[in-house]
Amino acid sequence: MEFNKLLEYIYQRGSANFKVKLGLERIVELTKRIGNPQKNYKTIHVTGTNGKGSVTNALSYIFRYQGMKVGTFTSPHLVSINERIKINGENISDEDFIQTFLEMEHEIKEMDIKGEDYAPSFFEITTAMALKYFEKQKVDIAIVEVGLGGRLDATNVIDSDIAVITSISKDHVKTLGDSLEKIAYEKAGIIKKDNYLVLGNIEEKPKKVILERAKEVGVKKIFEEGKDYYSSNHRFEINQNTMDYNGVNVGIKDLVFKANGSFQMGNIATTLATIEAYQSKFNVNLSIDSTRKALKEFYWEGRFDYSEINGKKIVFDGAHNFSATEQLKSSVGIYFPEQRKIALIGILEDKDYINMAKIFSSIFDKIIITTVPTERGKHPELIFEEFKKHLADLEFISDPIEGFNKLLLEKSDIYFVTGSLYLVGKIKESLFNKDLVI
């Protein structure tokens, strides 16, 4: 089977023409058919409106620097689908991707025969592939990022050892609910009996919903930011940020990490609280020195991701919802308060682009609006009309590649690509393939 043919086959299962049904019935059946691989290694399950990808990947860095074999499953990908499934930070190869699918293909077809309601979706297939691949690779631990919400997300087929909820804010309101409490209920659905639970910086009302769920299912121990752990002494410098961690049993001063953004201090603290939870649950000690070395190398691609390309200073940031847009504004104020800044922005139509436009317009001196290359970004002119209410120096270029090339022709101190991870991925892919003029 050719890799591109396989991608075409599974991508069509995520298209608008393919029926997606919320619920765990299909993923439970699919994983059962392939031997429930998720039961054969330790797992950490990570959800949250923002920060879950950063925490998932920071955990991966730390565990593998401890000498462990670590599987990670994340979404979406930026450039290649292989990014979603990793062992010790290395993408699954095309060959292993094909082979893992082939080992499941018969079971998928058997489910397809039962009818459309039973046919596994794109995300269910890739989730099952990740879980199967981790078993084949004999990982010591898998860190699994939720795709959407938690309770009904395909990743919730795992019976995790540790559950992590990084943050609660409004996003995907049509699916998860229009209040923080409703969204918290969906994300709290990942909490399992005997879990150790780690909570990031979460407001009291949604936190109450989470704690009620934790009590209901029988959580063993809870680590709350602000109560049990926190970060302090924040020092920001591009690609070399520093903070102190103050935990339940551990205090670490002067931790240095590459990952940029005002939001990363909280994410790193939540990561280290999760490490403490792991140590407590399994009665092990992990090396602080190795943790320091891991975090010194940690960065998260596409999240206040700073590069210098042919003398141009560029930040890629997937500020994909209102909360992330506010975080971007905070980060820009910290790292580049006085510099001239212009941006290429694309926003999905199902996001809160009305309020996001206000924030973005207050950050940048000029903005170029473009198309997000996905089904949910077909009408960028709607986004452009909204931005016109807030910023005079505004331009619309439908093609994102043309938009990026035009962006770099402008005179600016810093250039940004933001608004959607899909847009960030498209530009990064084009840079890799040398389709852009720089």
Per-residue tokens: 9: 């086959």
Confidence of residue 171 (pLDDT cuts 50, 70, 90): low
Give residue 434's pLDDT.
66
282 lies in the same domain as 391? no
Length of the chain: 438
Residue 267 to residue 229: CA distance in whole angstroms: 12
Mean pLDDT along residues 247-269: 96
The domain boundary, picked from 297, 332, 347, lies at: 297
DSSP alpha helix (H) spans, 188-263: 204-217
CATH number, residue 401: 3.90.190.20
Residue 208 to residue 69: CA distance in whole angstroms: 35
Determine the structural domain holding residue 397 and report its residue range. Answer: 305-432
In the block, tokens 């997937």 appear at 318
241 lies in the same domain as 104? yes
Per-residue tokens: 282: 């399994």
pLDDT digits (tens, 9 = 90+) for 382-437: 999 999 999 999 999 999 999 999 999 999 999 999 999 999 999 999 887 766 65
CATH number, residue 240: 3.40.1190.10
User: What 3-state DSSP class applies to 194?
Assistant: coil
The pTM of this model reads 0.92
Number of domains forming the structure of the chain: 2
The domain boundary, picked from 280, 297, 314, lies at: 297
352 lies in the same domain as 333? yes
Residue 139 to residue 130: CA distance in whole angstroms: 11
Phi and psi at 368, nearest 5°, equal: -110, 120
Q: How far is CA 405 from CA 273, 345, 377, in A?
A: 42, 13, 20
339 lies in the same domain as 410? yes
160 lies in the same domain as 289? yes
Q: What percent of the chain has pLDDT over 70?
A: 95
266 lies in the same domain as 316? no
Residue 234 lies in a domain: yes
Residue 184 to residue 195: CA distance in whole angstroms: 17
In the predicted model, is pLDDT for residue 367 greater than 70? yes
In the block, tokens 């990561």 appear at 271
Give residue 172's pLDDT.
57
Phi and psi at 356, nearest 5°, equal: -65, -35
